[in-house]
Amino acid sequence: MQQTHLHIDGNSVAVYESGGSGPAILLIHGRSVDAQTFRHQLGGDFGANHRVVAFDLPGHGDSSPAADPEEVYCAPGYARIVGELIDRLDLARPVVAGWSLGGGIALEAADQLPDAAGFFIYGAPPLGSPPAMQEAFRPNPAMRF
């Protein structure tokens, strides 16, 4: 696994790449963790057979705190980072996978990524902004919306 830093809009973003040259897969971590969450995907057979890329969101792991917190620490700000990272790394037709907060970021970035081969979202509720809880989940009498 190789680590580099990209400078995107005044932010130093830590990027990790596997040694594989197969199809590109971009992994986006959740809140309060970092790209090390994906260390097993970056290494081993999976990383050897695919071009796996993970990165630390600004303010996480080895990335710098956001240069402009109000512009970066939000879904559109993180989505801009994802789009720029894909462009700068020349990730052709990546599969974008996001876990928890990363899933929300992947959904937010989807419109900017028309060449993505697909999206894999897990642990992320399909909420917009502001959250429309009654539309995201099935009604249940145990929940008092």
pLDDT score at 37:
95
pLDDT at 128: 60
AA letter at 94: P
* pLDDT at position 130: 61
Query: What was the pLDDT predicted at 123?
Result: 87
pLDDT at 124: 82
Query: Are the beta carbons of 43 and 101 closer than 8 angstroms?
Result: no
Residue 28 backbone dihedrals phi, psi, to 5 degrees: -115, 120
Q: How far apart are CA 137 and CA 50, in angstroms?
A: 35
Q: Are 135 and 127 in contact (CB under 8 A)?
A: no
Q: What does the H/E/C string look like for the chain?
A: CEEEEEEECCEEEEEEECCCCCCEEEEECCCCCCHHHHHHHHCHHHHHHCEEEEECCCCCCCCCCCCCHHHHCCHHHHHHHHHHHHHHCCCCCCEEEEECHHHHHHHHHHHHCCCCCEEEEECCCCCCCCCCHHHHCCCCCCCCC
pLDDT for the residue 82? 97
Taking the chain (145 residues) in runs of 10, the rounded mean pLDDT of each run is 93 96 95 95 95 97 95 94 97 96 94 95 73 63 61
The pTM of the full predicted model, rounded to 2 decimals, is 0.86
Match 């993970």 to its residue by tokens.
Answer: 54
User: Count of CB atoms within 10 A of residue 30's CB?
Assistant: 20
